[in-house]
Amino acid sequence: MQWIANTAFGLEGQTSRDLKRLGIGTAQPQPAGGVLFEATPAQAFSANLWLRCADRVMLVAGRFEARSFDSLFEQVRALPWEDYLPRDAAFPVRAHCVRSTLMSPSDCQSIVKKAIVERLKRAYRIEWFEETGAVFAVDVSLHGDTATVCLDASGPALNRRGYRTWNGEAPLRETLAAALVLASPWRPAMPLYDPCCGTGTLLIEAAFIALNRAPGLARAFDCEKWPFMPLEEMRRLRAEARETFESGLSRPLRIAGSDIDGEALELARRHVAQAGLNGRIVLEKRDLREVTRTGEAGVFLCNPPYGERLGDRKAAAAVERQLYLLKERCPGWCLCAISADMSFERNAGRRADKKRRFYNGRLECEFLTWMGGAGQKRGDAALR
């Protein structure tokens, strides 16, 4: 079976590596984002459970060229929907159109819904579908004139790990937070500190990685109710993931963070508890100007205000400078920060040693790394 792991732009490489770790070999990047892979239903369930940076896992039902509504209708109706959908299935349809001849998502949605209904009417010899059973959300993506029709195996997007109850003011998506942890030089035995931790997303995702905790462990996926998925095997895979997490829970963690905002910290504490990590992440209310670190050097990882959604540009620039000064007063520590503010390096006062591009929602961001100790580039002039 073919599946697509949807990702934000730039997270395909990490998702392919995560799939490889699950024993799923070749993953092909897709023009509309995400990667295409071949897997058994059990492997696709594992992908839902374990992929840290993907938004959804979807079963590919069909892929074809469609330049007219008639052609879209006929080709969707030709797919063997009765092989997937039982007679009581709920099958909402959503469509996205990018540079396609058929450019109205709402019209594509109606056509696809109608085509599936026509097919199922014949297969089940009924005229009306109650849609009271398991959910098989149909995802139609027209990219150019290629239509890819999928069944969404995840349900709510995979960033919904189940530990976050309220979003705070400018939270980072869990999937992007995990990608940043993995893109940073931090490794689980090292100290990690987020001096602008907000609601704690980076810290929790880092702890999940350190403890080998499946990101989807505490939530359900729509495909668990699909009749052709292997129920017993899925139960076993979930139980194994739980055991892996619980048996590693006593592993030492050196993950901490602080924030100037007491309310954000309250949320961070709640999220830490809901993630099953009570007492494993140290959180303090502190202005980053007062943060100090002693002992072994580690990594500062953060998502400071950009000056767009929170505060103003001047305040954001001051925080950026303070972050660099924090790194300077903690010898050997590395600083990694994501920001949509393209003057971050200038405000920091020194060129970053590494830069990568990520998207935080629609915002194009730079992920900047200033290495500590030996990793620092020599002879790099301070910026004015």
Ligand X SMILES: C[S@@+](CC[C@H](N)C(=O)[O-])C[C@H]1O[C@@H](n2cnc3c(N)ncnc32)[C@H](O)[C@@H]1O
Give me the residues that bind ligand X (CB under 6 A), please: 168, 170-172, 195-196, 198-199, 201-202, 259-261, 264, 287-288, 303-305, 310, 319
CA-based radius of gyration for the chain: 23
Contact (CB, 8 A) for 36 and 75: no
The count of other CB atoms within 10 Å of the CB of residue 343 is 13
Whether 260 contacts 234, CB under 8 Å: no
Beta carbon of residue 291, minimum distance to ligand X (angstroms, whole number): 8
- Output the six-digit token pair for 203: 């810290």
For the purposes of burial, counting CB atoms within 10 Å of the CB of 117, is it exposed (0-12), middle (13-18) or buried (19 or more)?
middle
For the record, the structure tokens of 255 come out as 């993950």
CA distances from 152 to 59, 208, 261 (A): 6, 25, 38
Please state the φ and ψ torsions of residue 186, each to the nearest 5 degrees. -65, 140
CB of 365 to ligand X, least distance (A): 11
Minimum gap (Å) between residue 80 Cβ and ligand X: 43
Please give the structure tokens belonging to residue 72.
């879209």
CB of 6 to ligand X, least distance (A): 21
Pick from 123, 115, 127, 48: nearest CA to 86: 123
**Residue whose beta carbon is closest to ligand X:** 198
Closest contact distance (angstroms) between CB of 316 and ligand X is: 8
The Cβ of residue 20 has, within 10 Å, a number of other Cβ atoms equal to: 13
Nearest distance from residue 226's CB to ligand X, in Å? 33
Q: What is the DSSP letter of 350?
A: B
Minimum CB distance to ligand X smaller for 101 or for 165: 165
Q: Give the count of beta carbons closer than 10 Å to the beta carbon of residue 351.
A: 15
